[in-house]
């Protein structure tokens, strides 16, 4: 099962959040060859499962456990068990995980509520494309910002994907089928009706107004002079037939 690992604060390399992120970004891949060292062996984590690393109750990084644990007696005696991890991702979030739900120590992610909270936080870290919008589920006017808030909103995103799934509606690309566990739940969400075609303020319907698309199709849909969704589907279909 997935593991939520609480990093010890004030340890070397974990002085603050920024230092901790640099540890996962540089130190583990370069110095430690993708091994994360701990005081004990975490045997309940199976190969392919996720380890979520937290600092001061903020998620700072995730990695996929490769199923290999080594003992390196030449290291500091407190940290001799190296856990091989891959697909290290740095997470930027201002959401703290609740001690009431996860406790205060390293713990396995077991309950449905724990899984939903982790998924919600990680989904907010997904890169998306900017578009002219207002705030949350309501839109109107012509205000340009750099983050598409309704696409990042975990409630809107989840409502869309719970109904439509995680396969691109344009080209049918399936991240999990292509990349395995690391591709699970990886998809962009696109707003179907451009803002300039709406009249006044309206409430976004995550089912009618949002759709799952891969990053490639999402980029094309946001280009100047972009084809309509139906036109892009025809273009993709013709490309496949060639």
* Ranges of each domain in the chain: 3-111, 126-241
For residue 85, what pLDDT is reported? 94
Distance CA 14, CA 22 (A): 9
Q: Could you tell me whether strands 50-55 and 3-6 are parallel, antiparallel, or unpaired per DSSP bridges? A: parallel
Q: Could you tell me the two tokens for 136?
A: 């949350």
- Indicate the class that CATH gives domain 3-111: mainly beta
Is the pTM here over 0.85, yes or no? no
pLDDT reported for residue 93 = 83
Distance CA 123, CA 189 (A): 11
Tokens representing 17?
């959040």
Q: 3-state DSSP call for residue 121?
A: helix
Q: Please list the pLDDT of the chain residue by residue as tens digits (242 residues).
A: 899 999 988 788 888 988 899 899 889 998 899 999 988 887 778 899 999 999 999 999 999 999 999 999 888 778 899 999 998 888 888 788 988 899 999 898 999 999 988 988 887 665 444 433 333 444 444 333 333 445 555 677 788 989 999 999 999 999 999 988 888 888 888 888 765 455 445 567 888 889 999 988 988 887 778 899 999 999 999 987 76
SS3 63: strand
pLDDT at 124: 66
Report pLDDT for 82.
Answer: 92
What pLDDT, on the 0 to 100 scale, is given for residue 137?
40
């Amino acid at each position: 099962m997935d593991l939520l690992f609480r990093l010890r604060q004030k340890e070397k390399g974990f002085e603050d959040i920024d230092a901790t992120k640099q540890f996962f970004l540089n130190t583990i891949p370069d110095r430690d060859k993708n091994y994360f060292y701990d005081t004990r062996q975490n045997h309940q984590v199976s190969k392919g499962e996720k380890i979520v690393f937290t600092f001061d109750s903020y998620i700072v990084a995730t990695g996929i456990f490769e199923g290999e644990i080594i003992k390196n007696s030449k290291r500091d005696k407190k940290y001799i068990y190296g856990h091989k991890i891959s697909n290290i991702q740095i997470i930027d979030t201002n959401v703290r995980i609740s001690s009431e739900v996860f406790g205060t120590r390293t713990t396995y992610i077991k309950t449905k509520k724990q899984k939903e909270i982790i998924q919600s936080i990680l989904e907010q870290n997904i890169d998306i494309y900017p578009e002219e919008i207002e705030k949350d589920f309501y839109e109107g006017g012509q205000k340009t910002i750099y983050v598409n808030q309704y696409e990042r909103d975990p409630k809107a995103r989840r409502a869309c994907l719970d109904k439509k799934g995680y396969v691109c509606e344009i080209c049918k690309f399936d991240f999990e089928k292509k990349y395995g566990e690391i591709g699970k739940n990886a998809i962009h969400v696109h707003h179907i009706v451009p803002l300039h075609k709406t009249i006044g303020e309206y409430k976004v319907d995550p089912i009618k107004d949002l759709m799952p698309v891969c990053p490639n199709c999402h980029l094309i849909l946001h280009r100047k002079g972009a084809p309509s969704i139906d036109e892009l589907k025809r273009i993709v279909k013709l490309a496949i037939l060639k």
